[in-house]
A and B are shown apart, each in its own frame.
Chain A
Amino acid sequence: NAGVTQTPKFRVLKTGQSMTLLCAQDMNHEYMYWYRQDPGMGLRLIHYSVGEGTTAKGEVPDGYNVSRLKKQNFLLGLESAAPSQTSVYFCASSPGTGGGRTYEQYFGPGTRLTVT
């Protein structure tokens, strides 16, 4: 099992350009998440999904869109990149709720995005 994978690993964008970050998981997890990590701020949730075809806003959703057309994939889009979106982006997945399970999340290796 590959776990959670993210593409690309690195990207440099100019202000105003658009791009899509891809997250894929092979653990059949229901829930998927996108976070950004900035120095001194820990992880902040951008958007999440509780199942195929669903999405919901997290703490910092502005400037981002997401889609979950297939259960195993969760895409994060930046329509018009801004320097404030320079960050490291992490995707995560979890089994979801129910059955007395604990809800640990499994993280991908991250995408380092620089917007100039």
Chain B
Amino acid sequence: GNSVTQMEGPVTLSEEAFLTINCTYTATGYPSLFWYVQYPGEGLQLLLKATKADDKGSNKGFEATYRKETTSFHLEKGSVQVSDSAVYFCALWNYGGATNKLIFGTGTLLAVQP
């Protein structure tokens, strides 16, 4: 079946540090991949997406590349800010699959200290 595995948090970084949050997936076919972000007390917001192999999604300085050979979609940012502190969710949608569901990872808490 379809599944998403994220690195466990919390991830604690100092401001301006480099960020990587690992995400790997299991799916048949050609899923679309997403990163969502949840700021404290709010709902999830789409951060970026990629719909096919080798696509790079980017937004607000964050990037992730859809790697089919390693079934990965790692989130990166070159210089984090305190305002990036949030929970980050990796997710996949398997078009043409038996279900109409977005499959989420368990989330990774990022805490950025000044």
Contacts and interface: CB of A to CB of B under 8 A. Distances in A.
B43 A90 contact: yes
Interface in A11-46: 31, 33, 40-43, 45
Given A43-B89, A48-B101, A97-B100, A104 B46 contact: yes
A94 B49 CA distance: 14
Contact of B45 (A43, A56, A107): A107
Q: Is the interface of B mostly helix, strand, loop or mixed?
A: strand
Nearest to B42: A109
A104 B49 contact: yes
Contact of B32 (A4, A103, A107): A103
A102 B93 CA distance: 8
Interface size class of B (residues with CB under 8 A): 20 to 34
Contact of B102 (A97, A105, A110): A105
Contacts of B95: 97, 103
Interface string B43-85: 1111001010000000000000000000000000000000000
B105 A42 contact: yes
A109 B44 CA distance: 8
A107 B101 contact: no
Contacts, number: 50
Contacts of A94: 102
Contacts of B36: 107
A50 B100 contact: yes
Given A41-B106, A102-B49, A110 B101 contact: no
Nearest to B8: A40
23 contacts: A4-B43, A31-B100, A42-B104, A43-B44, A43-B89, A56-B100, A90-B44, A94-B102, A97-B100, A102-B49, A103-B93, A103-B100, A103-B102, A104-B34, A105-B46, A105-B102, A107-B36, A107-B44, A107-B45, A108-B43, A109-B42, A110-B42, A110-B43
A105 B92 CA distance: 11
